Amino acid sequence: QIYGDYEDFNLLSQQVDLSNCLKNHKIPPILRSKMVDWMIEVFGNYKQTSSDKTYFRAVGLLDLFFKKQPKKLVESDVHLFGIASMFLATKQEDISHISLDDIVEKVGHNKFTEKKIREAEYEILKTIEMKIDFPTTHTYLTRYLYKIFSSETNQTVLQLTH
């Protein structure tokens, strides 16, 4: 029993349900997709430090937050929590994360204060019960790619996935 393979079991056990995440809120779906588009744009400006993983994590965190938040959120919340989830994602996935100064000035255009973003971050962490490490779409796709080509040593395929 000591020497076994637990990889797939791990992925399944940590899976989270993100479907219908806007059901409880007064947020039009188009606004969420605009936010997601904007995230691509933002992380595109940080190509040196951020990867696709960061982007998928940010979207995942935001969706999970929407899903688990019992309070009714309105349109204006999307911007703040979108920024906060990007901040949390970059801290989680990147080697050197985007600093809070940058988040406030360059990403948020001084619309929110540092304190506001820290509070929003805390709110997210609290709502999702610190479960920040659920598998995202990116995790699954990478895993499938490895499985299909069993290419963990093949440099070309590895470069494609990172």
CB 29, min distance to another protein, A: 26
147 binds another protein (CB under 8 A): no
Binding another protein (rule: CB under 8 A), the pick from 25, 32, 67, 97 is 97
71 binds another protein (CB under 8 A): no
Binding another protein (rule: CB under 8 A), the pick from 29, 41, 95, 109 is 95
156 binds another protein (CB under 8 A): no
CB 35, min distance to another protein, A: 20
User: Token pair for residue 141?
Assistant: 């796709």
CA pseudo-torsion sign 32, 34, 37, 39:
negative
Q: How many residues bind another protein (CB under 8 A)?
A: 35
Question: How many CA atoms within 13 Å lie on the side-chain side of 119?
Answer: 7
Residue type at position 84: A
CB 110, min distance to another protein, A: 17
Q: Distance between terminal CA atoms of the chain? A: 33
26 binds another protein (CB under 8 A): no
CB 22, min distance to another protein, A: 20
**139-147 own/partner pairs: CB under 8 Å, 24+ apart:** 139/11, 139/56, 140/11, 143/11
